[in-house]
Amino acid sequence: MRCPRCGTDDLVQGRYHKVPLSRCDKCGGVYVEIKHNVHFLDALAKDLAAEVNLDTEIPPHEGQDAVALCPRCSGAMERFGYLGTNRVYLDRCGRCMALWHDGDELGTTAALHARTTMRLQSRAVSRREDEDDQERRLHSMMMSRIAMSRGFTMGGF
């Protein structure tokens, strides 16, 4: 498969921990099936957390243009903000339901994934009766973002 970002001929097929994926050695981009994406980001975030503090502010940005075509099926790729944010972007193939992670965004994606997961976990533990409305709305919004992302994971399969 050809890299949809930099055009290098051979994406390297392999696994990250147990997760099967294809990687471009040149630009660091990763192509992964949607059903494996959460496991991929879990594993990546765990590895990154051993090296750096992932609980840092992630500023919004515009990101690059979408990659044009899916490397596997040549379907059109659609760009979207991960977890409904404009902090990091993924490309999704509308035909075979696979994802493209740009190499330079992968760390940020993992950080956002880890931060959201960690906040939800700590919030669940520290949830109190006197939680105010604003906090409850925020919690609900984050939950729905996660649910959407998890639901979407199952969608095409």
Cα–Cα distance measured from residue 101 to residue 4, given in angstroms and rounded to the nearest whole number: 10
- Residues 95-124 touching Zn ion, rule: CB under 5 A, are 95-96
Query: Where are the extended beta strands (E) located within the chain?
Result: 12-16, 19-23, 30-33, 77-81, 89-93, 98-101
**Residue closer to Zn ion (CB basis): 39 or 72:** 72
Question: Residue 6 or 138: which CB sits closer to Zn ion?
Answer: 6
Cβ-based neighbours of 121, under 8 Å, separated by 6 or more: none
**Which range touches Zn ion (CB under 5 A), out of 33-41, 51-59, 65-73, 140-148?**
65-73
Residue 83 sits in the site that holds Zn ion (CB under 5 A):
no
What single string gives the DSSP state of each residue in 73-109?
T-PBEEEEEGGG-SSSEEEEETTT-EEEE-GGGHHHH
Comparing CB distances to Zn ion, the nearer of 125 and 157 is 157
148: contact with Zn ion by CB under 5 A:
no
Positions in the binding site for Zn ion (CB under 5 A)? 3, 5-6, 8, 24, 26-27, 29, 70, 72-73, 75, 93, 95-96
